[in-house]
Chain A
Amino acid sequence: MDLKSLIDTRRRGEPDLALMALIFVLAGIGIALNYSASAVYAQKTFGDSFYFLKRQLLWFVTGLVALFVFQEIDYKIYKKYTKAFLFISIALLGLVLVPGIGHSVKGSVRWFSIGPLSVQPSEMVKLMMVIYLVKVFSSENSRNHVIQLLIPMMVVAAVFMLILMQPDFGTAMDLLIVSVLILFMSGFPFLYIAGLFILSIPMFYLLIYQVGYRKDRILAFQNPWSDRFGKGYHVIQSFIAFKKGGLLGVGLGFGSQKISRLPEPHTDFIFAVIAEEMGLVGTICMIGLFLALFWRSVVVSISAPDDFGRLLALGLGLLIVVQAFINIGVVIGSLPATGLPLPFISYGGSSLLVNMISGGILLNISRYREAANQGVKINEEVWQ
């Protein structure tokens, strides 16, 4: 591989500026909210209210570099490495489960510790899985549908189970939903997708009702008031944040629910902090921002030059927006509790970095849009 093929500058234009602006706005809001949500907790735990802010800023800068690097790398390159991605994904997930290597927090083994940093491989794995699935489903295939469906779905099932063993039900479900949506987008016949869905019902029954705490969470989600000081406590505290926030919020930094009421206010429940501090308007804007991000990825997708690019742009958009919607759903009590971060906003280095890389790839695809290509051609003619 030579560098020239890696960075093919001849046939591309400017990246989608609206998309870039959206990413920066989201990440910027994330930094501000991170400080607001974590300051009290950080002061109490580490004696330094900037503890999380400093780390998140460092990750933000790293993510920014990643964004600009990846928006230079030709997205078509990834097609060649999907098998490697698959192998790395499964190896990483297997490795994190090995006792002594994986780093356990609150009973879940989701992280690697590298010096002072902890890295959550499942975030990276989701991105690599999306690229793999996009490659498989975007390629024209003469084999019959069952076989084309069977192998990737087995891969998804294996990765799903590995993530579930951590255990991380939220990330596993997120991956599954994104995978099915990519399958759907690729134009696969409905019949097969419906069949897949029906076949998976008994498996979900086992996965949920065989694990006590998952069942509890689901029951608690249906009626948090039935155990409001136990399993329903966090969701109710989150509701109170929404109520306290009112229309416009109490102002950034002035929320009180984040102080020892909301669990992990700077990670999984950061949306509740938004609700209290920025109010109903703030939360609706957040949902709007994520929808807008998805809309830009649809625009990039439609104008992408090849099937791989089209499906990849959509897949990356879905990766971000589905995770965001699961997280928000939990906080507003529409979904049972899981531990998924809110993309770009929640504290967490791996998550932010992967989101920025996804953004970078999306931006890169946008540079090959057909209109832009024509522009380049014209330019080339002028130069000649």
Chain B
Amino acid sequence: MNQRVFRIRIFISCALLSFVALIYVLRLFSLHFSDRVAVEDKDGSGLRRGKIKDVNGYVMAISIELNSLYANPSEIVNPSATAESLSRIINVPARDIKKRLSSKKSFVWIKRKLDDDKAAEIRRLGMKGLYLRREFKRAYPNDGLASNLVGFVGVDNVGLEGIEFGYNRVLSGKTSAFLPEEIDPGNTSGKNIVLSIDRFIQYISEKEIEKAVARHRAKQGIVLVMSVKSGEILALAKYPGFNPNYYFDYDDTARKNFSVIDSFEPGSTLKIIALASILEKNPGVLDKKYTCEGKIEIADTEIRCTGVHGTLTLQDIIRHSCNVGMIKASKSVTKKDLYDTLKKFGFGSETGIGLPGESEGILRPVEKWSGLSKHSLTIGHEISVTSIQLASAFSAIANGGIYIIPSVVKSVENPDGTLFKDYRKREGRRVVSGTVAKTLLKFMKGVVDNGTGTRAYSTLYEFAGKTGTSQIFSARGKSYTDRVISSFVGIGPYSDPELCMLVVIDDPADRLSGGEAACPVFKSVMEKVLPYTGKKKRPSGPYGLKRFRQGAAFDGNTMPDFTNMRLPECMRLLSEMQRSIDLEYAVYGGGSVRSQKPEKGEAIRSGQKINLYLSEKNDGRE
């Protein structure tokens, strides 16, 4: 190596690196003085983020304002006078203020975090060189309530999730926190958003789903309550949820809004929609009977049923959620009709509820169907739906066949609380005839009264509904696992539908079905919420006598015939008997009554003990 050349080259390389360093330092200065990024002062000044309220005006998210007073001493005309006036307002000795105001700096804090009144007084002073810097902190007074819907804001008060994210522009009054060129100068304050959520219903729903998820050790669960007549979401509960005040402590599973983002195979609940398609085209099928042998072979695939159901009417098919019967009944509908009906009910496309990240689910076009697809679809497979799609579709049935786009934002208010825009008026569209809707509702009532959904049976209200249990498809194993998603979608009250409610329990560890896991949640939420909405309960007194089968009513002296009754009917009859006579009873087993003690027609005395023995097998009655 030539020493002279070496030294020259060392010099060149030092110069080169110094040059790069110089460019970097210049770049640092330009970043520092750039007004293109992160103008935090401007971000805070005059722009308060709007509130989020529930339907009754209870605040669910609010921005708390903190004022901090600072001064530019070079602009202060008379430091002593200014200090004097400030001293009176902020309770700081005039001496200290004056000292700061005489500083040579161009920025001095006078007092931080002043409350509103004092800030207003200082503003009234109108003195030159004094500035208030607004700092906002977003707070969620109800902690985790409706967190998945409301969402949260990040450190710079920009919405990151939920309504906070989706309606960020409305709430903040501008688009972005760090791009001043996009701030609309006409909008200076954020508007309030009023949700259709009712915090009472929301609270009940959250408590009940929390209990259910814990009881069944499920991955997660949701409750979605929808007003049938308006399409408004009254509650959107999910467990596990999160506390938006501390959103950073939670993972994505907790923060995600399952109801609109995640889709799943619905299973048997979709039978109702498939049936809508069948009934619309062939009302004649109502008189037909179908036989279920426990399995059926379609396109070289064996589809199993939950049991051997024997001869069934359409109503029985729905009651027992019979796969074979459903597939046989679907012979009378074409692929196209089925597809069109599903499309009309909103499957395969976003509902337009206006929440961020909404999924459209999966509904493949007819051309892509295999020989099995039509049959799979009638029992709720080969389709993926979101909770909001499912609830909206059933609301349409409860609403006499009129589908209303679901909504969650009721109105937008100006910062002063006056109405800016009402979003409530929603046009409906007919998706199925009134007669068919009524028939379907009746079938669904059968499910609750003595079908797969008896655990939703209530002595207070009449409900209609449909259970669903679908196996979770494993994308990794490319096959169905034995894990399930259990659901129940119900409507109440039956005679004058007001609410439609969907309960989904995702992956319960005990693998319980929709009828077993989801129904009790529906029942307990509905029984608490319906009185709150002002719905009348069932007529009290010796009610429902005529509801019992011939010979099954209690005449006051002799033992009635319990044979083939399911548990809710038994309980109803037993409590009916207890009204007129003092007796004890014990019920053994599950399913329907096989034997009873005393036998039918035997005399009953006061203090009589009644034993009922139930079992599952051979359930093909009626």
Q: How far is the CA of A138 from the CA of B36 in the complex (A)?
A: 49
**Sample of 20 more A-B contacts, CB < 8 Å, known A243-B39, A287-B25, A321-B17:** A40-B248, A138-B1, A140-B1, A184-B9, A185-B9, A187-B1, A187-B9, A225-B36, A239-B38, A242-B31, A259-B155, A261-B155, A280-B29, A284-B28, A318-B13, A325-B17, A325-B21, A332-B27, A332-B31, A333-B31
Known pairs A244-B40, A280-B32; A236 contacts B17 (CB<8 A):
no
Q: Assess whether B92 is interfacial by the CB under 8 Å rule.
A: no
* A246 / chain B contacts, CB cutoff of 8 Å: 32
Q: In this assembly, does B20 line the interface, its C-beta being within 8 Å of a C-beta of chain A?
A: yes
Scan residues 141-198 of chain A and give those whose CB is less than 8 A from a CB of chain B: 181, 184-187
Partner-contacting stretch, out of A56-64, A205-213, A306-314: A306-314
How many angstroms from the CA of A328 to the CA of B25 in the assembled complex? 11
- Report A's interface with B, CB cutoff 8 A: 40, 44, 138, 140, 181, 184-187, 225, 228, 236, 239-240, 242-247, 256, 259-261, 275, 280, 283-284, 287-288, 290-291, 294-295, 298, 301-302, 307, 310-311, 314, 318, 321, 325, 328-329, 332-334
In the bound complex, residues from chain B placing their C-beta under 8 Å from that of A307 are 1
Q: Is the CB of A186 within 8 A of B1?
A: yes
28 inter-chain pairs at a CB distance below 8 angstroms, sorted by A residue, are: A140-B1, A185-B9, A187-B5, A225-B179, A236-B37, A236-B178, A239-B31, A239-B34, A239-B36, A242-B37, A243-B34, A243-B37, A246-B32, A261-B154, A275-B28, A275-B31, A280-B28, A283-B28, A287-B21, A287-B24, A294-B17, A295-B14, A298-B10, A325-B17, A332-B24, A332-B27, A333-B31, A334-B24
- A187: chain B residues at CB < 8 Å are 1-2, 5-6, 9
Least distance between A260 CB and chain B CB atoms (Å):
6
Whether a CB of chain A sits under 8 angstroms from the CB of B287 is: no
Nearest chain A CB to B474 CB, angstrom units: 22
CB-contact partner of A291 in B6, B21, B178, under 8 A:
B21
Residue of A nearest to B22 (CB): A287
Q: How far is the CB of B1 from chain A (nearest CB, A)?
A: 5
Q: A259-B155, A291-B18 are known contacts. Are A242 and B32 too (CB-CB below 8 A)?
A: yes
Whether A334 pairs with B21 at a CB distance below 8 angstroms is no
1/0 contact string of B455-487 vs chain A (CB within 8 Å): 000000000000000000000000000000000
Let me know if A242 and B28 touch, CB within 8 A: yes
B interface bracket (residues with beta carbon within 8 Å of A): 35 or more
A2 to B6, CA, bound (A): 34
| Complex Cα–Cα for A302 and B156 (A) | 51
Task: Evaluate whether A334 and B27 lie within 8 angstroms (CB atoms) in the complex, with A186-B1, A240-B37, A325-B20 already known.
Answer: yes
Does B23 count as interface, using CB distance less than 8 angstroms?
Answer: yes
Distance between A296 CB and nearest chain B CB, rounded to angstroms: 12
- B7, B29, B248: the one contacting A260 at CB < 8 Å is B248
- The 8 A-B residue pairs whose C-beta atoms are closest, nearest first, are A243-B38, A240-B38, A242-B31, A187-B5, A239-B37, A307-B1, A256-B155, A243-B37
| Alpha-carbon distance A38/B35, docked complex (angstroms) | 29
Given A240-B38, A287-B25, A260 contacting B9 (CB threshold 8 A): no
A44-B248, A44-B249 are contacts. A328–B24 as well, Cβ < 8 Å?
yes
Contact yes or no, A259 B10, CB < 8 A: no
> Closest residue of chain A to B4, judged by CB?
A187
Q: Which residues of A contact B20 (CB under 8 A)?
A: 325
Whether A302 lies near B1 (C-beta < 8 A) is no
B155 and A325 within 8 A (CB): no
Question: Which residues of chain B come closer than 8 Å to A325, judged between CB atoms?
Answer: 17, 20-21, 24
Q: Taking the nearest CB of chain A, how far is it from the CB of B277, in angstroms?
A: 42
Q: Determine if A259 and B9 form an interchain contact, defined as CB atoms under 8 angstroms apart.
A: no
Query: Which of A185, A225, A307, A314 has the most chain B CB atoms closer than 10 A to its own CB?
Result: A185
